Structure 1
Amino acid sequence: MRILLSNDDGVHSPGLIALYEGLEGIGDLEVVAPDRDHSGASNALTLSRPLTVEQHPNGYYSVDGTPTDCVHLAVNGLFEEPFDRVVSGINTHANLGDDIIYSGTVAAATEGRHLGLPAIAVSLVNDGQFHYDTAARVVRMILEAGRPLALGPRSILNVNVPDLPWDELKGFRVTRLGHRGRAEGAVPMTCPRGKQRYWIGAAGEDSDAGAGTDFQAVREGYVSITPVHVDMTRHEAMRRLSDWVGELGFGEGHTS
């Protein structure tokens, strides 16, 4: 098995290093990750300039671009030998519910899936203990499963691991995405040159975190595994929308 590892926290992130060490021996591992922290980059591709790739003494590759750039380059030109799957992480904080819209960790995994590879995004629900080894062991267990999992097109697994020692995990739960409430307000500051600047406010508290959600699972000590589909169409709204559009009066007899 040939596995591409990436992340959004940067090539020197302890979560990425722990993931590599935890998967050693499972197959042929290659690391291609951003040269710096790109948290919140979502699925951005760099199209305005060429990208620089650097190989480090430990064999890891860094790219001066986004997580999506890293996976795209790795799969589409950096290596001659193809990959079998992509694993993105271990992210230093949770990617629960609406977090996945902004997450560079999830974006790296979805880029792998766009390019035809099974993909997993894994995050540590960090409470300051930094049990990256637990999250790495979870990924290894998933990859070594006796029966392959077929999710269907444009689907990935979003995995969130409680920040606990391995023997304190309660198990695994298949979950749905919960939802966060409104984000906190922007935080104003003044730069050394006297100009007004702003920090983006913190993510909102969970508002849909009940039964079956990823929020509930990790809160109760379970690994949350959520199948995520990139198709963002709200299919159940199609009929209502069609009826509404039909009432706009823009029919076959329309002339410009």
Structure 2
Amino acid sequence: MTSKPLILVTNDDGISAPGIRMLIGIMKELGEVVVVAPDKPQSAMGHAITINNMLYLNKVSEENGLEYSCSGTPVDCVKLAVNEILHRKPDLCVSGINHGSNSSINVIYSGTMSAAVEAGIEGIPAIGFSLSDFDWNADFGQARKFIRKIAAHVLENGLSNGTILNVNIPKLKEDEIKGIKICRQAKAVWMEKFDKRKTPNGKDYYWLTGEFVNQDEGEDTDEWALANGYISVVPVHYDMTAHHAIQELNSWKINE
């Protein structure tokens, strides 16, 4: 008899967030679940790791599977899970369900996706799930069957080495979601500005604001899929080499 798949669950919204609680329940239908997640919200932390402070792990549950809260970042959670907690390499790591979209350029800043990418670096098939709804009490239930289906396919088929799936779910009812689209990342930017304010004692401080601008008219992008009622699935990887630029740079004859 083969053992159940071992699934690591993490996120960036914190271990008590409704999104991760939903994700834990779905993953328990597919395998043995171990949870290592931040003890507080860690959104937009990107691939940050803790090097100048102590890290703490606290076991918060073992009745229905092991759950640990971590004082560090989402990436810290994955590193600690792999090196200190798990008795074998997980068959899958899932991160989320994030409160808010991580489509397009947002993947760069996302703690949710950085946790999944870290798992990919460790050789673990990984998926980041995000819902396009920032409400803490958002309805994650409409995406349940789609999340289960995507995770089950990854468990069955695996992912090519270094590939991580960035899955974004539109804010729609289950019967309004048209299906799943395999996409590329849309070209989009944040038009940012800093709102300069003053504290009560007169000291200047700044509050980051901005507008998300989709510059991509393609119908094969994650932004198009979400806007048209589809769940977007973008395969991403951590090799940031701009391979197309190597030949151009070699033409500079920089060693002459």
- Using the size of structure 2 for normalisation, the TM-score is 0.90
Q: Once the two structures are superposed, what CA deviation does each residue of 1:161-217 show, in whole Å capped at 9, x if it has no partner? A: 111222221011000000223432012222233211112223522122531000000
2:43 corresponds to: 39
Query: Are residue 95 (structure 1) and residue 92 (structure 2) matched?
Result: no
Unaligned ranges ≥5, structure 1: 252-256
Query: Are residue 175 (structure 1) and residue 183 (structure 2) matched?
Result: yes
Going from structure 1 to structure 2, the CA distance change for 1:71 and 1:146 (only over 3 Å counts) comes to closer
Which of 11, 17, 20 aligns to 2:24? It is: 20
Query: Are residue 189 (structure 1) and residue 193 (structure 2) matched?
Result: no
Cα separation, 2, equivalents of 1:198 and 1:155: 37
- The 8 Å contact of residues 127 and 163 in structure 1, kept in 2 or not, is answered as no
- Using the size of structure 1 for normalisation, the TM-score is 0.90
Which of 70, 74, 86 aligns to 1:79? It is: 86
Cα separation, 1, equivalents of 2:121 and 2:41: 23
Q: Once the two structures are superposed, what CA deviation does each residue of 1:111-135 show, in whole Å capped at 9, x if it has no partner? A: 1111110000010011758231233
1:254 corresponds to: none
Cα separation, 1, equivalents of 2:145 and 2:104: 23
Normalized per residue, the structure richer in strand is 2
Cα separation, 2, equivalents of 1:116 and 1:82: 9
Going from structure 1 to structure 2, the CA distance change for 1:24 and 1:182 (only over 3 Å counts) comes to closer
For residues 50-129 of structure 1, the aligned pairs below 5 Å read 50-57=54-61, 60-126=67-133
- SS in structure 2 opposite 1:148? helix
1:48 corresponds to: 52
Unaligned ranges ≥5, structure 2: none
Going from structure 1 to structure 2, the CA distance change for 1:64 and 1:192 (only over 3 Å counts) comes to farther
- The 8 Å contact of residues 117 and 237 in structure 2, kept in 1 or not, is answered as no
Cα separation, 1, equivalents of 2:152 and 2:188: 33
- The 8 Å contact of residues 8 and 104 in structure 1, kept in 2 or not, is answered as yes
Cα separation, 1, equivalents of 2:156 and 2:73: 30
User: Pairwise CA RMSD of aligned residues?
Assistant: 1.9
Cα separation, 1, equivalents of 2:159 and 2:210: 33
Q: Once the two structures are superposed, what CA deviation does each residue of 1:82-105 show, in whole Å capped at 9, x if it has no partner? A: 321100000000001111111100
